[in-house]
Structure 1
Amino acid sequence: MEIFQLDTNESFSIPFFSIQPLIENAVEHSLLQKIDGGSISIICKKKTNLVIIKIEDDGIGISKDSLKKIKERLIHQNQLIDHIGIYNCYHRLKLFFEENLEFQMTSTEGKGTCINISISNINMRKSSYHSPA
């Protein structure tokens, strides 16, 4: 099972701890609620002038109604009382990347949740880090 994958030898900067709360949410609200546990996948990819960060779990998922409410509150900047981690991550990234940020969240009850963060026009630079083969 692959837990982390970095598909580029270039580096880029995002604000510190930007995605950590999303991973914590996946563990606490999805995987720990599942009797047999599960897995989280974190994938970073570069495509031309775009960086994609994908966080996906195979936990219990989020109901359609709850997911709709979360998305509406993110768009309308209504602070989420129950989902403060998602709210803070989204707005922190939005402040940093402005219109270059696309934040998508999908979920299916009983199958898991996926968050796709796409950042366009990001400043890339060569990195000394090489992902393990």
Structure 2
Amino acid sequence: KVVWDVEDHLHFLLPPFTLQPLVENAIRHGLMETMEGGTVKISVYRKEENYIISVADDGIGMPDEIIRSVLKENGLSRGVGLINVHRRLKLLYREGLFIESGLDEGTIVYYKIPVEDVRSNEIRTD
């Protein structure tokens, strides 16, 4: 099951291929491991001076060592898609992915896009 929770009246562009790997990872590693499947919730909202893009699942969770490996500068793990997204976001916004997980409780992976970066892209005239 997929649940969308998108705040009304938000207008900004996502960096290409930053949402899809998060959804794919939630399904492949979080939900396909369970017989009954589960739910993926995709949320987009503004919080203070950031747009938050979040993918949550109610699957098996991620072990701490995998989270640490994904978020390390030169992390090598099975989460190649997450590592690539994390690195790209750090280059663009100085912050990468945030991951919160509990075993058998699911995982939330999210990132922030600063509103100021979106505004500066809208103002360009070149």
Per the normalisation by structure 2, the TM-score is 0.82
Tell me if the contact between 2:66 and 2:77 (Cα under 8 Å) persists in the aligned partners. Answer: no
For 2:33 and 2:84, locate their aligned partners in 1 and report how far apart those are by CA, in whole Å. Answer: 23
Partner of 2:53: 53
Q: What do residues 11-50 of structure 1 show as CA deviations (whole Å, max 9, x unaligned)?
A: 1112211121111011111100011100100100013431
Please point out which of 112, 116, 121 is paired with 2:110: 116
Q: Which runs of 5+ in 2 are unaligned?
A: none
Please point out which of 90, 101, 111 is paired with 1:107: 101
For 1:103 and 1:39, locate their aligned partners in 2 and report how far apart those are by CA, in whole Å. Answer: 21
What pairs up with 1:49-88 in 2 under 5 angstroms?
A: 49-71=49-71, 73=72, 77-88=73-84
Q: Cα RMSD between the aligned structures?
A: 2.0
Residue identity over aligned pairs, in percent, reads: 29
Q: 1:47 to 1:64 in 2, by over 3 A?
A: closer
For 2:107 and 2:77, locate their aligned partners in 1 and report how far apart those are by CA, in whole Å. Answer: 20
Tell me if the contact between 2:88 and 2:96 (Cα under 8 Å) persists in the aligned partners. Answer: no
Q: 1:86 to 1:54 in 2, by over 3 A?
A: same
Which has the higher relative contact order, 1 or 2, with Cα contacts under 8 A spaced 6 or more apart? 1
Per the normalisation by structure 1, the TM-score is 0.78
Q: 1:107 to 1:47 in 2, by over 3 A?
A: closer
Q: Which runs of 5+ in 1 are unaligned?
A: 126-133
Match of 1:113, SS state, is: strand
